[in-house]
Amino acid sequence: MMADGGSPAPHRDGSMIRRYLLAGFFTLLPAAVTFWILRAIFDALVTIFDAPTTWLSERIGLGTPPYWELALASGVATLLLLFLVGALMGNFVGVQILGWLDELVMHIPVAKGIYGATKQLMNAIQSGQGGSFKEVVLVEWPRDGSFALGFVAHRDCRWAGMPDAGRMIAVYIPTSPNPTSGYVVMIEETKVRPLTVTPEEALTWAISGGVVPPPERPSRAERP
């Protein structure tokens, strides 16, 4: 059935509704993802501080606190904990205490591997020691014809004992949307293409699933 003017009104209305639904979905998606992540963090914090907060509230005669009070107390406790650790790192006594805690954790069979690797990774990202995670490169991975952005993690792979290990570098390839669960591959340096992309831009590209690309810049080879 044709509407006035000879145009198929139902088809036009259906396309308009679908366009509006998609526009609303993509508009609200970032806010929904942000809310989901923050909600997961708050749930984890409430789980950690649930028992001590409830015990303290009952001890002073306030009874079992509601969820919002647990979330608020958990958030405040987390901020205080971060502030306390940061303050301890600024003086000699705090450094000694945290060093002793490091030694304690490193003597736990299973935890020492996870804790040690995570701490080294965070230190490398924060300080850029040895150029780690400060240089963004393009690598052909996981197969010929497919390319991925990566971060140079280390330039000496001779520890692997391979014949050409001296000419290979370790590259960390982040995954989307969680860039911390990536892959570490050893690739010949001649097959790694340096990019004029900052680490922040590369992480944004990975987290967004490739939706937010880095700005276009001339490659290093094209620079005068």
pLDDT digits (tens, 9 = 90+) for 142-172: 888 888 889 888 887 778 777 776 688 889 8
Average of pLDDT values for 190-212?
Answer: 84
Judge whether residue 94 has pLDDT over 80: no
In a domain, 150, yes or no: yes
Local confidence band at 197 (pLDDT 50, 70, 90 cut-offs):
confident
User: How confident is the model over 69-88, as pLDDT tens digits?
Assistant: 777 777 787 778 778 877 87
- Show the tokens assigned to 72: 């608020």
The per-residue pLDDT for 123 is 65
Give the pLDDT mean for 171-197. 85
Residue 139 falls inside a structural domain? yes
Q: pTM score > 0.75 for this model?
A: no
Percent of the chain having pLDDT more than 70?
82
More confident site: 137 or 37: 137
Residue 184 has pLDDT above 70, yes or no: yes
Of residues 9 and 55, more confidently modeled:
55
pLDDT of residue 100: 85
Provide mean pLDDT across the span 6-24: 68
pLDDT of 1 above 50 = no
Residue 195: give the domain boundaries: 129-207
For the chain, the domain total comes to 1
DSSP sequence for 98-150: HHHHHHHHTTSHHHHHHHHHHHHHHHHHHH-GGGTTT-EEEEE-SSTT-EEEE
Residue 76: inside a domain, yes or no? no
Single-letter residue type at 1: M
Contacts of residue 89, Cβ cutoff 8 Å, sequence gap at least 6: 95, 98
Residue 46 lies in a domain: no
Per-residue pLDDT at 130 exceeds 60: no
pLDDT at 137: 92
CB 133 within 8 A of CB 153: yes
190 is a domain residue:
yes
Answer whether residue 12 is part of any domain: no
State the DSSP string of the chain: ---TTS--HHHHHHHHHHHHHHHHHHHHHHHHHHHHHHHHHHHHHHHHHHHHHHHHHHHTT--SPPHHHHHHHHHHHHHHHHHHHHHHTTSHHHHHHHHHHHHHHTTSHHHHHHHHHHHHHHHHHHH-GGGTTT-EEEEE-SSTT-EEEEEEEES--GGG--TTGGGEEEEEE--SS-TTS-EEEEEEGGG-EE-S--HHHHHHHHHTTTSSPPPP---TTT--
Higher-confidence position of 131 and 213: 213
Share of the chain above pLDDT 90, in %: 2
Q: Is 166 within a domain?
A: yes
Q: Is residue 198 part of a domain?
A: yes
Per the prediction, the chain carries an average pLDDT of 76
